[in-house]
Amino acid sequence: MPVIRNSVHIRCSAEEAFDYLSDLRNELEWNPDCQEMEKLTDGPLGVGTRFRAKWKGSPYTEVETLSYERPRSWKMHASGPLEINFSARLSAAADGTTLNVDFEPIPHGWLKLLSPFILLGFRRAERANMIRVREALEGKSSAQSMREASGL
């Protein structure tokens, strides 16, 4: 199945974007399809961090962090009947950060028969998610700037 690629410009630092997005628990804030997200491993986020996840229409699955290079990139893998490889790269831009994402769904078993529909649905969802990610991060960045300006 093809890799779905998206990008979005965000008015915040790469560090802010990385810290927020690499912690999958925050996905509950911006992804309406994310129903549950629980960190399973102890300690700080990094390579080997695992999450128990549930998205609309999917069974529970485990997501593992495969690479973690703050503040530039991270990669994750979700197991299950619909396997997912996910990678994100952040780069500095004139007034913020550019987020580039590769999302590769790999259906197994009977889900292979639904591949065209799965791909279409994920393409739409991932485009919309980029907008929600930008709105969430810019809202957090704006709120932080206002707190700093008011001395809080």
Range of the domain at 138: 4-149
Confidence class of residue 140 from pLDDT cuts 50, 70 and 90? confident
Distance from C-alpha of 87 to C-alpha of 96, rounded to nearest angstrom: 20
Integer CA distances (angstroms), 133 to 17, 51, 55, 118, in order: 9, 19, 17, 22
Q: Regarding beta strands 50-55 and 73-78, do their DSSP bridges make them parallel or antiparallel, or are they unpaired?
A: unpaired
Helix (H) or strand (E) segment spanning residue 93: strand 82-93
* Mean pLDDT of the residues in the chain: 92
Domain count along the chain: 1
Residue of 62, 29, 34, 43 whose CA lies nearest to 133: 29
8 Å CB contact between 90 and 71: yes
Q: Regarding beta strands 4-10 and 34-39, do their DSSP bridges make them parallel or antiparallel, or are they unpaired?
A: unpaired
Task: Calculate what percentage of the chain has a pLDDT beyond 70.
Answer: 91
What CATH number did the domain enclosing 117 receive? 3.30.530.20
- pLDDT, tens digit, 9 for 90 and up, residues 56-95: 989 999 999 999 999 999 999 999 899 999 999 999 998 9
Distance from C-alpha of 48 to C-alpha of 17, rounded to nearest angstrom: 20
